[in-house]
């Protein structure tokens, strides 16, 4: 079953397979969500029958939203004053009177404009002419009248919310690639069913008895409902300009550009659709899917949205693993406040490591500060590649050069039996690294050293790994705020060409590598070729380059003969 969107005056519903998600704005102006498992209907694959299912499911969901908030007041009985209850009762009466007035106007319109007036005009103009010609003109008159009525309704303020939610929902199922609703969207489907059934019923003009007329016309209506669905499905598949222009005749009636809130309401439903647990509507709780939707809006506006970052923020504040988030339906208002506070800091460019004081690196909690470079996710690839070689070659000793926070050394030590040493020129960084090693119960030797200067000439290692500074000096001020303002310059500056540390390490690494030992680097974008050349010139063999998650050459390694 494909994904379907059903718009309402205060929200949207998404239906896919066996799950229904209804996202809406409640009477207090808050975005809410309720979801439930539903029986998967096999009829969605049956031609004509699926059109009837589409129609009745949409009508059922619309009625469901009308009663969703019944008896759902955010105030307790004690808090509800008589004035508040009186105002609430007045609102119910006003809504009832408005609905009654609308029904009365609709009845008068149907009786006069669609009933009496077309027949009267045609009979006066074409008295004695062919019966079917008269029926044809009556059908056209009524169809045009209804079309004009829909055009008038589109301009009415009380329809704007419905039409905006309609486009908001349609953008979800089209991956935001279009600014217009699809031909098969529910409102367009209803408009076409109404127009076509009006014309056909008027043209056929069954006249037996009022009871027989009712059931025959109802049968025609149901038959046309299935037929219209199939026609719109064909239009949706068509890519021709002519078909697209024809579809626009009714499409423009059913959508308006949504605002940010209406877009977020749609996202809440989309996010909830991916979750496993049923979600009950509870006013005093905050739906987690709503929090994710609002975070996405704020972070995208700042061009800093990463789904993994949003999940990490929420999981950290809720003190759960990211895998557990799908099982959490609601959070408290205090938890929401903390999450959105962290989100706003992230939107301003502050890295997650600075917001929380630690990062998760290769499954280890690494505390960070402005004294050390915050470890990046791509550096985990350096660890992964090094561990693969350590285990395959059964290497016994490892040196993590320019260790910084100790993240690389800790990750390697926690995942192999080799002895690990970490070195750095910064005493402040070494203090952080030692603290992290204790925090993660990793036995590591730390040495204060400017590269190899503090190591005796005879001391050798089976493998040296390093993520040295590799940013060009002139490029540091051009870096994103979360790097240049929160990472220490000493951990970034790689000299005029960004390659100073690679040259120095490669020139001296042979003195501290065992025979057949390995040298692993993380490199900056566009530096893999130069670093590979330096290693070849220094007699390194079997040099290989690995890409990161974005297909950028990120890891360079080789072995000494």
Q: What is the DSSP letter of 493?
A: B
Alpha-helical runs (H) found in 7-66: 49-66
CATH of the domain at 291: 1.10.8.10
Q: Is the Cβ–Cβ distance between 462 and 517 less than 8 Å?
A: yes
pLDDT tens-digit series, residues 462-480: 999 999 998 888 877 777 7
Does residue 269 carry a pLDDT above 70? Answer: yes
Asked whether residue 239 falls in the same domain as residue 341, the answer is no
Q: Retrieve residue 144's tokens.
A: 């045009």
Asked whether residue 326 falls in the same domain as residue 464, the answer is no
Q: Does a structural domain hold residue 207?
A: yes
What's the farthest any 2 CA atoms get from each other in the chain? 117
pLDDT for the residue 226 = 93
* Domains held by the chain: number: 3
CATH of the domain at 481: 3.40.50.150
Asked whether residue 114 falls in the same domain as residue 197, the answer is yes
pLDDT tens-digit series, residues 350-403: 888 889 989 889 989 999 888 888 888 889 999 999 999 999 999 999 999 999
Average pLDDT over residues 193-213: 84
pLDDT for the residue 544 = 96
Q: Does a structural domain hold residue 272?
A: no
Q: Does a structural domain hold residue 233?
A: yes
Asked whether residue 337 falls in the same domain as residue 222, the answer is no
Asked whether residue 322 falls in the same domain as residue 413, the answer is no
Per-residue confidence band for 175, with pLDDT thresholds at 50, 70 and 90: low
Q: Does a structural domain hold residue 96?
A: no
pLDDT tens-digit series, residues 529-549: 999 999 999 999 999 999 998
Residue 19, classed as helix, strand or coil, is strand
Q: Is the Cβ–Cβ distance between 554 and 547 less than 8 Å?
A: yes
Considering the chain, what is the average pLDDT of its residues? 84
pLDDT for the residue 274 = 79
Nearest C-alpha neighbor of 469 from the set 448, 491, 499: 491
Strand bridging mode 553-560 / 540-547:
antiparallel
Q: Does a structural domain hold residue 324?
A: yes
pLDDT tens-digit series, residues 60-116: 888 777 666 544 444 444 444 555 555 555 555 555 565 566 556 655 555 565 666
Instruction: Residue 344: give the domain boundaries.
Output: 284-348
Asked whether residue 480 falls in the same domain as residue 535, the answer is yes
Q: Does a structural domain hold residue 300?
A: yes
pLDDT for the residue 425 = 94
Strand bridging mode 397-401 / 540-547:
unpaired
Indicate the helix (H) or strand (E) that contains 120.
helix 117-125
Strand bridging mode 445-448 / 397-401:
unpaired
Average pLDDT over residues 513-521: 95
Q: Which range (75-79, 126-130, 332-336, 494-498) has the least confidence?
A: 75-79
Q: Does a structural domain hold residue 266?
A: no
| Single pTM value for the model | 0.70
pLDDT for the residue 91 = 54
Average pLDDT over residues 444-466: 94
pLDDT for the residue 73 = 44
Per-residue confidence band for 314, with pLDDT thresholds at 50, 70 and 90: very high
Asked whether residue 163 falls in the same domain as residue 139, the answer is yes
Asked whether residue 170 falls in the same domain as residue 121, the answer is yes
Domain boundary, last residue among 251, 270, 298: 251
Asked whether residue 135 falls in the same domain as residue 34, the answer is yes
Asked whether residue 338 falls in the same domain as residue 439, the answer is no
Q: Please indicate whether residue 345 or residue 149 has the higher confidence score (pLDDT).
A: 345
Asked whether residue 330 falls in the same domain as residue 418, the answer is no
Average pLDDT over residues 303-307: 88
Helices 307-318 and 288-301: angle between axes, nearest 10 degrees: 130
Q: Does a structural domain hold residue 163?
A: yes
Asked whether residue 14 falls in the same domain as residue 163, the answer is yes
């Amino acid at each position: 079953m494909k994904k379907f969107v059903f718009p309402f005056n205060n929200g949207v519903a998404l239906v896919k397979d066996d799950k229904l998600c209804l996202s809406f704005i409640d009477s207090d102006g808050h975005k809410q969500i309720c979801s439930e498992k539903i029986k998967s209907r096999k009829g969605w694959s049956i031609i004509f029958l699926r059109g009837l299912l589409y129609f009745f499911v949409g009508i059922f969901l619309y009625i469901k939203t009308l009663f969703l908030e019944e008896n759902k007041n955010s105030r307790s009985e004690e808090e509800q004053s008589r004035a508040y209850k009186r105002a609430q009762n007045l609102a119910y009466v006003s809504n009832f009177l408005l609905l009654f007035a609308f029904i009365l106007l609709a009845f008068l319109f149907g009786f006069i404009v669609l009933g009496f007036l077309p027949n009267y005009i045609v009979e006066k103009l074409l008295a004695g002419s062919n019966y079917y010609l008269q029926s044809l003109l009556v059908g056209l008159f009524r169809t045009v009248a209804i079309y004009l009525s829909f055009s008038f309704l589109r301009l009415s303020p009380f329809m704007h919310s419905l039409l905006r939610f309609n486009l908001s929902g349609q953008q979800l199922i089209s991956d935001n690639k279009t600014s217009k609703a699809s031909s098969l969207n529910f409102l367009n489907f209803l408009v076409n069913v109404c127009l076509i059934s009006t014309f056909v019923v008027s043209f056929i003009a069954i006249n037996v008895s009022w009871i027989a007329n009712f059931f025959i016309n109802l049968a025609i209506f149901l038959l046309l409902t299935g037929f219209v669905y199939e026609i719109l499905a064909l239009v949706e598949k068509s890519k021709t300009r002519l078909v697209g222009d024809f579809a626009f005749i009714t499409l423009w009636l059913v959508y308006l550009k949504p605002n940010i809130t209406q877009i977020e309401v749609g996202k809440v439903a989309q996010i909830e659709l991916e979750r496993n647990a049923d979600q009950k509507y509870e006013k005093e709780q905050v739906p987690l899917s709503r929090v994710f939707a609002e975070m996405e809006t704020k972070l995208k506006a700042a061009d800093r949205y990463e789904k993994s970052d949003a999940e990490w923020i929420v999981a950290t504040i809720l003190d759960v693993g990211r895998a557990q988030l799908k099982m959490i339906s609601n959070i408290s208002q205090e938890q929401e406040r903390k999450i959105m506070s962290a989100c706003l800091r992230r939107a301003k460019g502050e890295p997650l490591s600075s917001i929380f004081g630690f990062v998760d690196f290769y499954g280890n909690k690494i505390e960070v500060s402005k004294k050390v470079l915050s470890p990046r996710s791509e550096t985990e690839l350096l660890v992964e590649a090094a561990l693969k070689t350590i285990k395959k070659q059964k290497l016994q000793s490892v040196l993590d050069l320019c260790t910084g926070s100790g993240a690389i050394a800790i990750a390697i030590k926690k995942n192999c039996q080799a002895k690990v040493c970490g070195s750095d020129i910064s005493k402040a960084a070494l203090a952080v690294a030692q603290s992290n090693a204790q925090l993660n119960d990793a036995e590591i030797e730390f040495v204060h050293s400017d590269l190899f200067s503090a190591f005796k000439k005879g001391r050798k290692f089976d493998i040296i790994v390093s993520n040295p500074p590799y940013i060009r000096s002139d490029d540091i001020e051009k870096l994103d705020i979360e790097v240049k303002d929160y990472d220490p310059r000493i951990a970034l500056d790689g000299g005029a060409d960004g390659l100073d540390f690679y040259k120095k390490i490669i020139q001296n690494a042979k003195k501290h590598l065992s025979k057949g030992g390995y040298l692993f680097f993380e490199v900056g974008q566009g530096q893999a070729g130069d670093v590979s050349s330096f290693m070849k010139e220094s007699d390194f063999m079997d040099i290989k380059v690995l890409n990161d998650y974005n297909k950028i050459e990120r890891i360079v390694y080789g072995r000494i003969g």
